Structure 1
Amino acid sequence: MNLLDTSVILLYFTVLIVVGIIGARRAKTSEDFVLAGRNLGFFMYLGCLAAVILGGASTIGTTKLGYKFGLSGMWFVTSIGLGIMLLGVLFIKRISGANVSTISELLGKRYSSETRLISALVSSIYTLMVGVTQVIGMGAIINVLLGWNMTVSMIVGGGIVLFYTILGGMWSVTVTDIIQFVIMTVGIFVIMLPMSLSSAGGWDALLAKLPASHFDFSTIGGDQIFQYFLLYSLGLVVSQDIWQRVFTAKTIKISRVGAVWAGIYSIGYALALSIVGMCALIVIPGIENPQNTFAQMAIAILPPGVLGLVLASVCSALMSTASGTILASSTLLTNDIMKQYWFKNMGEKQFLLVSRLTTLVVGILAIIFAIWIQDVLVALDVAYAILSGAIFVPLVLGFFWKRATAKAAFYSIIVSTVVVLSGLMIEGITSTNPIMYGIASSVLVMALVSYFSKERMAVYSSPAESNQLAE
């Protein structure tokens, strides 16, 4: 890294800090802080959605998988893309008119306040862990770029994100996401992908020098692909940080169409980074830590100035997801726990203050856990395993099964969370089985408790019915 590249990255960080200060002036109400006033048009909505789902794990992780497995490394982020499209096609119409801020608030309307509480706890843990992955990613990038200690790098990167998120909430996150979406797109598709191919000798050189397995979309293994589907496709459907973006759209049509296009963009992003990883295997064979593949490839092939822009694009992907997930976790804790049980009568100013303080605590915890774990894919797997195994079934059955009851949802979340965590501890955090155990136990508890309960609930299928149910 020369002075020009370092200056580009530091300038980018400065812009984010300034945006946070400006955003603080826009976030005057709780809805502004949490949902940016529910007023985003298509381009801003698409940019925000794409930026939040394609974070550090997506960028660093996919390049690492492309280096090791070739084109089949794209299944990781492709599963994320399929999940956001599934949300757009099947669920957004049902949730957009509900006038809620969190997934737990919706579950509370469908089932009970107890279900809202337990789902908020589980979902806040998930969003916190996704935030952890982004802090780890930022630390890895800054460590490679500037040569700083990994712990110091994570503190600096996480601290910048925490600063602008605390100040402006979703307004700051939205503006920075648009900046980050543009930088990500230019950095990956316009600069990094074509220059990686050029440095490796072109596509023909990849075909000639790499093993045939790197061009097989199944090399990574059917079990691994299935695990990605369980973790990310199902997890995205019930992810608070994604829902919070959905609620910012001006209309339902923008929500749905934007989600589908964000999914398509994700698949293209996955393919591009897998190819970058394949090129790195030719340009820099024998990388000691594959998690650093993207950063080392960028340093090896890019000229001064351009290198700073591309690495800023990686920081963009990391920071957009980190800010969104930290804000999502604090929103769950503030809106669904503190406001419901501790500060029932707090006004707008008090809500903003509590939200900012909670965001500060969540951000500090994310940095602490990142320093402890220091593996981006491990942290992400744990996060999505908890979410897919515990929240997916009661949410989906709440939409489509009239006999699902509040007691069933409450006990289902508790039992399946315990099952998933126990399975991860026994079989290891890379195992797919705990997720399937969690989903199976969730279905079983939902079915048995609902069947033997006298309670009956109306299916939650439209805004009109949502309002009736809430009343």
Structure 2
Amino acid sequence: MNWFVFWIVIYVVLLILLTLRYVKIKNIESYLINNRNTGTLQLVFTILATFVGGGVSMGLIAFGYESGLAAVAIGIAYVIGFFILSRYAGKMYKEGREFGLYSFPQYLKKKYRIKENDKSGQMFIGVVSLINIFIFFFLLAAQFVGMASLLEYSFGVGYELAAIISCIIVIFYTAMAGLSGVIITDFVQFIVIILLILFIFIPGVIDDTQWFARLQELPNSMVNGTSEGMIFLIAVPLFLSWSLLVRMDIWQRILAAKSETVARKVSLWSGIGMLPFYFIFPLVGMTVRLNYSLDNAKDATFYFMTDNVGGVFLWFAVVGLISALMSSGDSFLNVISVSVVKDFRKRIDFSAKREILFIRLAVVVFGSIAMLMALVFPDIVDLMVVGVSTIAIFVPATLVALKRDDASDYRNIAFISILTGFIVNISFFIWGVVAPEQFSAKSSFIPAFIVSVLIMLMGMLIKRPSRKHDK
């Protein structure tokens, strides 16, 4: 306990010093997108920190404990996705800067030519923002579940109290620092994750599995990646890879880049650096599965660390993971709050200070809602998978916006595609939760993505807009 408190104090002091030194909130652009002046290394670190950070790492470890190497499919999807993103990142940055955009919903609003007095258009952008917020609630709740699990073991407090403590920490820092602060915590988090992998996770896996020989004791489906079925294994890289084009946190990072070149380079380097993490973390979960039978897979991370590191270094590892969870939580909460204030308020001439105040209030409200989700639904695997996969329903409408100058002609079709995909996803997810023996909740995005694509394609074929746009 004493060493845990020691490392917590060290981390908090470091965070405060870095924030005071580097975070300067001068205007709304510095709070939301770091003045569109972020370099390649900073952005690569903040993206990788989000995609392999605390909630994701613990979620993948839990996923590995439950389903083995099926979790690797998510990593493969993201590697493909970042290479797809590099094709569009320059355009995303250029048009974002040209139109003065801060978020993904604002981009759709601009491309689909939605005016302030257009009621159907406002409904479209409202649904887009609400669904995005819903998705990021799941991702944020996953961070709170992970933090609460670690605090529960570290302090011996109940899960509920630990979740509340986690929420307060993330809300306070996010409200104060904005995206500039998120980038700083992401930078620290990524370094910590690298240290944990090099000195704890990889040596621990090798030692506990006797250089992987003991993995044959697990069911074959866990080792060959088919625990969730072949459909899941194939569909995740095929469908989920496109979701990076529509993630609000990715758009925020691209818009924060200092140039088109940086935006493209960041996409490529993030993809290259992604995959190893998505092999290592599931292997950690599989290692725990060899030695323990747990009531809840979310506890697998702590069991692994107590087996493989002790004393002062155990608490360093725990604090490191908590900092990683906090950083990812900062990122997701920042995205939700920015979307609410920028996409839902009417065009009122707010001063920068007043707008930042509203964003900070949104941070408090939505952080509290995500905490309630973590208390009611503490399954970190399902929270993570639903959060990252549901986003794919936006892909058809976004590709039309990115590739066609006449995107506004297909606005109603895009709206139906997104809304129907969302309804299908939620329906199949509920089915999977209620009757897991009939359908896996983790696969709910597959029919949703297919429905969204088919509706968009059929609608465009039927619509056949006038040729004047093509001239």
Q: TM-score, normalised on structure 2? A: 0.86
> Mapping of 1:296-335 within 5 angstroms?
296-335=303-342
> Which residue does 2:416 correspond to in 1?
411
1:101-144 Cα offsets, whole Å, 9 max, x none, are 11111111110322433322221221222111111111112112
**Contact 2:382–2:442, Cα closer than 8 Å, also in 1:** no
Alignment of 1:452 onto 2:463: yes
Change (3 A) 1:248 1:425: same
> Mapping of 1:424-443 within 5 angstroms?
424-426=429-431, 428=433, 430-431=440-441, 434-443=444-453
Across the two proteins, how many residue pairs are aligned to each other? 450
Shift of 1:207: 5.5
> Which residue does 1:4 correspond to in 2?
3
> Which residue does 2:352 correspond to in 1?
348
**Contact 1:393–1:443, Cα closer than 8 Å, also in 2:** yes
Alignment of 1:143 onto 2:152: yes
Match of 1:251 among 249, 252, 259: 259
> Mapping of 1:7-22 within 5 angstroms?
7-16=6-15, 19=18
Structure 2 counterpart of 1:58, one-letter code: V
**Contact 1:408–1:447, Cα closer than 8 Å, also in 2:** no
SS at match of 1:272: helix
Shift of 1:344: 2.3
> Which residue does 1:107 correspond to in 2?
108
- Deviating more after overlay: 70-79 vs 123-132: 70-79
SS at match of 1:129: helix
Alignment of 1:158 onto 2:167: yes
SS at match of 2:311: coil
- Deviating more after overlay: 420-429 vs 90-99: 420-429
1:157-191 Cα offsets, whole Å, 9 max, x none, are 12111111100101111111111111111112233
> Which residue does 1:464 correspond to in 2?
none
Aligned residues with identical type, % of pairs: 22
Distance 2:7 2:280 in 1: 24
Change (3 A) 1:135 1:208: closer
Change (3 A) 1:375 1:279: closer
Alignment of 1:358 onto 2:362: yes
> Which residue does 2:196 correspond to in 1?
187
> Which residue does 1:96 correspond to in 2?
93
> Which residue does 2:437 correspond to in 1?
none
> Mapping of 1:348-427 within 5 angstroms?
348-389=352-393, 391-401=394-404, 404=407, 405-426=410-431
**Runs of 5+ consecutive residues of structure 2 not aligned to the other structure:** 115-120, 435-439
Change (3 A) 1:82 1:321: farther
Structure 2 counterpart of 1:161, one-letter code: V
**Contact 1:56–1:137, Cα closer than 8 Å, also in 2:** yes
**Runs of 5+ consecutive residues of structure 1 not aligned to the other structure:** 460-471
Change (3 A) 1:375 1:325: same
Change (3 A) 1:217 1:428: closer
> Which residue does 2:181 correspond to in 1?
172
Change (3 A) 1:456 1:38: farther
Change (3 A) 1:312 1:81: farther
Distance 1:437 1:211 in 2: 28
Structure 2 counterpart of 1:415, one-letter code: T
Distance 1:231 1:3 in 2: 47
Q: TM-score, normalised on structure 1? A: 0.86
Distance 1:40 1:66 in 2: 34
